[in-house]
Amino acid sequence: MEGLGPLLSEAATQYLQPVVPALSANLNSGWFSTMPPRKKLAFTFEFGLAAIGTEIGEGAQSLNVPGRYYFSRAMAEEFTESINDQPAIRDQVIDQLLSEGVTLSMEGGTVIGGNQNITLHFGENDEVNFVLRHADYPFPVYVNLETEPFEVEAGGALSGFPGLPFALPQLKLGTLFGTQVILRGTPPIEIDEEVGDFQFMGFGLMHNPMVWLPKILPVQAAVGGMWQSMTVGDHLDIKTASIAGMVGYQVGKRWIRLTPQLGFMTDQTTLDFNYTESIEVPGGEEEITVDMSLEQATANRTFVGLHLYLLHLNLYGRYFMSGEKGVAAGIAVSF
């Protein structure tokens, strides 16, 4: 892999990959909570908070990305300043740096990989070695130039965390032919001027097909889909899509109802990251761009849940049994 940009992009991909399934599960959970009322036309309103926690599964603990780096002439001249008293040898070294480059590697811990910092190394063991031949010398000339590793304190940012938590407000409005609109998200939140704003929004529809069947049946059901977007300035863009279905058996009267639930969900998530930063390299400083894209393959999960309606208060909980294991719970007021 040639150049710092592609190398750092691949390192970032390996760094984040272990947590993407849990992140995808978090974003796509919680919205499928209470079922729409079994009504063809009615005003319904529900507002509450959904909290989700997903187990971080086993993944790679470390990353190692090899590559090759080619110097500009100005950087090569600065890097070889220590041998400027030997101009003939220096010229050969500069020529090799320009034509052949040097090996480099990035290694360390992933986001779940303990406390290993991520380090960028130039050359072998932070040394660049040359074996040269010159007409002025009857024997090979060995040149050794030391480099300084570049370290990022990022390894194991989530090491030791059993799961990934998440929470957000959620609004449901309806009901038309057993269908509700679901809105979730937050207003823009400024992180800082350089990074930009955090923004999150989601839109979904949930339908109760039992609206078309006789009301004597105590079974409730729902099918629906949700589309979501999370951004951080111009650097991070996460998009998700999910569909789900569930059935429940309702027990209780009008003001107090308990509904055990069983359901299925399938979802997909894409994550795009772009960031430009200047870092120290042998012979100077270089501005590099990290540009990466991750896609979580379609994940299928089954869950069991319980919904308690008490006057105008909704309490619900859910456990995901397959796929990324996790829990979702929420509280909402409905009218």
163-193 confidence digits (pLDDT tens): 888 888 999 998 999 999 999 988 888 887 7
| 221 and 315, same domain (yes or no) | yes
**Is residue 27 in a domain?**
no
| 46 and 195, same domain (yes or no) | yes
| 139 and 51, same domain (yes or no) | no
Which range, 83-92, 172-181, 297-306, is most confident?
172-181
DSSP 83: G
| 305 and 166, same domain (yes or no) | yes
Which of 112, 130, 152 lies at the terminal end of a domain, its last residue?
152
> Locate tokens 């036309």: which residue?
41
Q: How confident is the model at residue 11 (pLDDT cuts 50, 70, 90)?
A: confident
Strand partners, 206: 180, 224
**Is residue 199 in a domain?**
yes
Across residues 51-59, what is the average pLDDT? 84
Looking at every residue in the chain, the average pLDDT score rounds to 86
**Is residue 19 in a domain?**
no
Long-range pairs for 214-217: beta carbons < 8 A, 24 or more residues apart: 215/38
Q: What is the pLDDT of residues 103-140, one digit of tens each?
A: 888 888 888 876 678 888 888 888 888 888 877 777 88
| 221 and 328, same domain (yes or no) | yes
| 84 and 106, same domain (yes or no) | yes
Is the separation of the CB atoms in 260 and 248 below 8 Å? yes
| Higher local confidence (pLDDT), 3 or 32 | 32
CA–CA distance from 254 to each of 75, 149, 257, 310 (Å)? 77, 68, 7, 9
| 172 and 104, same domain (yes or no) | no
> Which pLDDT score is estimated for 26?
86
Residues in the chain: 335
Q: What is the CATH number of the domain that holds 310?
A: 2.40.160
Chain centre distance of CA 117: 19
Domain that holds residue 218: 34-56+161-273+294-334
Alpha helices in the chain (DSSP H): 4-16, 20-27, 73-79, 87-99
Peptide linkage before 119 cis (omega within 30 of 0): no
| 51 and 67, same domain (yes or no) | no
Give yes or no for residue 1 having a pLDDT over 60.
Answer: no
| 240 and 322, same domain (yes or no) | yes
| 137 and 247, same domain (yes or no) | no
